[in-house]
Amino acid sequence: MPRRKRVATGGLLFHVFNRAVAREKIFWKPEDYEAFETVLQQAGERVPMRLLSYCVMPNTGTLCSGPAGMRICPSTCAG
């Protein structure tokens, strides 16, 4: 089922995730992880954003991101 359209006012911190269905793997070999990092780099070149953290595991990719000029306190993405 599709999600409802969201309206973002800007200046927000986003938690973005990509998770496989039924705990299947989406990253099988080191090259898959490298490809994920390449896509993140390309996205950063196209869209001004601040990548605060990311985590890649065999069945998920997660990142914490916000606008390029965003100021945050150090504990925003912790825990």
Written as six digits, the tokens of 48 are 């001004």
pLDDT of 74: 61
**What are the tens digits of pLDDT across the range 39-64?**
989 988 998 888 888 999 999 989 98
Asked whether 68 and 50 are in contact (CB, 8 A), the reply is yes
Residue with tokens 């705990």: 23
Tally of CA atoms within 13 A in the half-sphere of 44 that contains its CB:
14
The pTM score is: 0.69
pLDDT of 29: 95
**pLDDT tops 60 at residue 79:** no
Sheet arrangement for strand 49-57: 14-19, 60-67, 49-57
Q: Work out the pLDDT band at 3, boundaries 50, 70, 90.
A: confident
**pLDDT tops 70 at residue 78:** no
